Structure 1
Amino acid sequence: MLQIPFWKRLMIVGACLLGLALALPNLFYVRVEGHNDAIKEIEQAGSTPVLEAQKGAWPAWMPSGLVNLGLDLRGGAHLLAEVQVEDVYADRIDAMWPDVRDALREVRAEVGTIRRQDSDPAELRVRISQPEGMAVALQAVRELARPVASLTGVGQNDIVVSGDSADLIVRLSEAEAQATDDRTIQQSLEIIRRRVDEVGTREPTIQRQGEDRILIQVPGIGSAAELKALIGTTARLTFHPVVGRSSNPDQAPGARNEILPSLDEEGVFYIVEQTPVVSGEDLVDAQPAFDQNGQPVVTFRFNATGARKFGDYTVENIGSPFAIVLDDEVVSAPVIRDAIRGGSGQISGGFTVEESNQLAILLRAGALPAELTFLEERTIGPELGADSIEAGKIACIVAGIAVLVFMGLSYGLFGLFANVALIINVGLIFGLLSMIGATLTLPGIAGIVLTIGMAVDANVLVFERIREELKSAKGPARAIDLGYEKALSAIIDANITTLITAVILFMLGSGPVRGFAVTLGVGIITSVFTAIFVTRLLIVWWMERRRPKQIEV
């Protein structure tokens, strides 16, 4: 084992140097953070002398990835919101009434007169005057059913139609209700994320929690009240005539026109008229669906005012494209194939099911789909975050010094080798966290402190095995060789079980628990690497240089 090939030595040294280089920007956090922010500002708004100075504060050839600071370290706002998904059921059911009414009018001879009845918001109840025609009525309304546009609802319809005496009842199917819940939560997440991203905060946490809740943590924002006001802002959705396409964002669009970037097509810009045909206020609904060929499409529907304006426009512009614009970005620019008189239409373009869902979410992103009830809100001041960082630094330093002293006193020169590996190990942890863009929280610092204590565990196992082998009167090289060989299984066993625990914590936990799991998992990987490879390489270099006849561990 002491005969380490040259290529393996190069790989070990190279991995250490790379990890330390990736960790280096964190020692100059403010400077590198300003450099990264300046690059983003220049890409979005153009160059200025101030931005160029900030950009030049850190060499462009150096790594610039940072370990992002979490809410508890930077300060900011924390919200836990519950989405009232039941509101969407009522809107969906209410939106079905015109189609159900028209379908029943076509079979009026068999069902008689029809009248909508007061009912639970989650169902549509229609009374017919001729109950003997209920079978015909059921058949007519069931023809309105569409396949559920989700991967879990394949082969199922979106509505369930049943009869009760003289009343026909329409409800959402269980599969459609589940798909609606998922779409509502995803739509809410998309709106919130777009709103939060506009203020330029760093690494916000916006994620689904449970069935109908959303966790929102935004570092760097002033207060929870400010965050709530930001989330309540309505996205701007408009439909514009398209004048042309361009690859030059600085091209003059012409009088009463504007040039807007495409959301999905990199480097493509659309020249559109400034005055929209209709706006998002006129959009009632947008849903993923399938066309007559079974291909995913997105259907949309306007209110009466929007339907009239859009119908008049499509009659006069068949064959021309129109742009769907969300927050000054062109979501899609389909071509008008026919006149759309009924206030509804569909967008097709070779979508997958996932893409049609996403486009429907974007189209509906002009307003939150359902009311948000805020169950929990907290404001964390930056002073508390600074105190947490300082406390974390002290904890890491104290733990590190204690471990270094213990190893030096217990194992002498070999303990110093382990200490060098420990210092490299901490650098590798920050290098990996910077590379994956991880967010460091206060529990994450606890994970690093725990890793510092655990990092020398593998070295202790090896050194104790070497001591045992030296008692058997074996030579130094043979004792070291056997020490690593016999301790390897115990090292792997102990660290694999801890790594499994970290993975489970990451999968089942959320927020701070995940932060702890990430740093613990990364620390385990780097600890095993430094113990098995780095410490051994240091010992091999020392043995090759000194060639001792006897050693003391």
Structure 2
Amino acid sequence: MSKKKARIILILLAASLVLLLYTAFIGWGPTGTGAMKNIKLGLDLEGGVSVTYQAKEDNPSAEDMADTVYKLQKRVDAISTEAHVYQEGSNRINIEIPGVSNAEEILAQLGKPGSLKFELSDGTEILDGSHIESAEAASTRDNMNNTKYVVEVTFDKKGAKAFSDATTKNVGKPISIVYDGETISSPVVQQAITDGKCEISGNFTLDSAKELASSIRIGSLSLELEEIRSQVVGAQLGQQALKTSLIGGIIGVICVMIIMILAYKVPGIVASFALLLYTALDLVAMNAFDMTLTLPGIAGVILSIGMAVDANVIIYARIREEIANGNSVRSAIDTGFRKALSAIIDGNVTTLIACLVLYIMGTGSVKGFAESLALGIFLSMFTALFVSKWIVKSFYALGMSDPKYFGKMIAIKRLNMVGRRKLFFTVALIAILTGPVACIANHAAGRGALNFSMEFRGGTSTDVTFKDSYDINAIDTKIKPVIQKVIGEAEVQAQKVAGGNEIIFKTRTLSNDERQKLSDALDKEFPIDTYKDNAGEQAKAISFETISGTVSNEMRRDAIVAVIIAVVCMLIYIWFRFSDLRFASSAIIALIHDVLVVFASYAITRISVGGTFIAVMLTIVGYSINSTIVIFDRVRENLKSRDKYESLEALVDDSITSTMTRSIYTSLTTFVTVFFLYIVGVPSIKEFSLPLIVGIIAGMYSSVCLTGAMWYTMRIRKDKKDQAAAQSAAAAKVAGKITASKKKKKHVPQS
């Protein structure tokens, strides 16, 4: 690369960074297009719209209510993956959608929940809305290549059979879609539809196609609902939470940059530049893809910044290793990037596989997590493999060709990791068992095995209209302590309804006595407004309703199934890439170890198990596999020159030792970002950060101390079996020769 080309590349990259930072922090035009201030925030940070529906049926069954909640959750996922749907009382359902302030707009998107039927012209019902799996507006091209809008409908298995029979017998006749007794569409059957998917065409505009699709979707609910209330609610947390999280993130990023520069000299500067570019790209992309950011999401983004350093560390450790082996700097740069490529790709592809499965099968925050993690992976690979490479080569072309600019490789004596495997396995087993032991102890003490939050176990919603107005800070510092004292528990969520003095508090389930005590305590400290009831008497403007958890049993089931399938897919990929099932099984066992250790931290510390619990576990699944892949990549490489090692044990120990620097720096940079979140964060961020810190430590331990040792143990067992089989075969062959010789001698004729 010429000096002129190097200067042009550096100038363009610097200009790109300035442009992206300007876009991310300031934006363009009067509305600040592209700025992070326009990123959608979740209910916890900004609030949104709350809609309450009531079942038209007097006494709906628990099964129908649960099914309706689950299906509504699926519907609102299309609006926001951070939306919450939960049951209130015995016949009401609440929907909370973040990042919006227009209740009418949301109601229009959801549609009016009513009964839906598909009928023939004589009034015969073919099927009802419960057999609809999906309905979406789409665009196609007609014979004149003009755009036309249609509605694509997919039926479940039973619905597909009924629709197939009806369309086969009624080609050329209309099938009416009847919604709440009103025919909203009567498309004519053009042909028999046997695959469970149909396309409704007509003179649709995009809006009318969306409206019909919305009616079909909402009409597929198990119950008919009627809207009884819609309101705009404020943030559950104050701006202080957002501010402290950002401060923690900035401190963490600065510390990571300092660590990289001290450790890797010029490449550390390059990594810091790439990290800034990655951060700006991530913020702009989140805005462009219309993602919703919650408080745990902020922690996840900051965590991904720490993880983004990983690829750079792998590359620069390789470059330094090549220089130490006597290669020129230019050759070391090329070789370093080339040799690091397989580990980077394998590590990130396994995580992307998990993201894909979680996005397809997950719901709510699981789907949102998969989106943000996948985005971070693509951007980190781009900045590490392309941007960093261009900068390093440009610096080399401009004269930074002396090995001193790349730092000195730290010589580490080969560690005896495999020889201590029994000790490592014992420590891991003890750490895993502390979780079940703590759960049993907690249950015996009457506290419950885990400290499930309201998101899992539900609770009581207390709706209060005060005489005075209180902002979120006053709610946190004055009102919440009164509630906490009455109920004897710290977990209290609060939402202020826009346009008045109404505030909604969510707590654990309260008894009738506790509800009365809470009403009296609040009225004494913060006078509650009054109104005239049906009897004309003055009554306090306070009401209580039992609510279900926002994480339903179905959502939990979906998350567990998605994680299991993701792990299986990761195992298959590693098996395919390394051509050895032992690599894959060792990696998955280590991953399970990390998850179980984090689970133990929840049981021991009694940290609240809520929505962040799922996010933490998914983060560990994505994070844990990377370190293991790097070590296994080195084992795979060293196996090609196995003859230079005195034993397989030495080969594995050398592989772990040579990647130790990378393992330490990656874990350290990730630890630093999360640690500062814990130090300056609000309680909800601390509940996210602490188990992540445990997970990072567990991940490093399993990668360095367990994975290589497990692979070695599995490998030598197979080698011993193969050796024993070979010896048996050889012995049998020799025995066969001796027998043949005797037989031959026996038949020799005597002279």
TM-score, with structure 2 as normaliser: 0.36
Point out the structure with the larger strand share: 1
Point out the structure with the larger helix share: 2
TM-score, with structure 1 as normaliser: 0.47
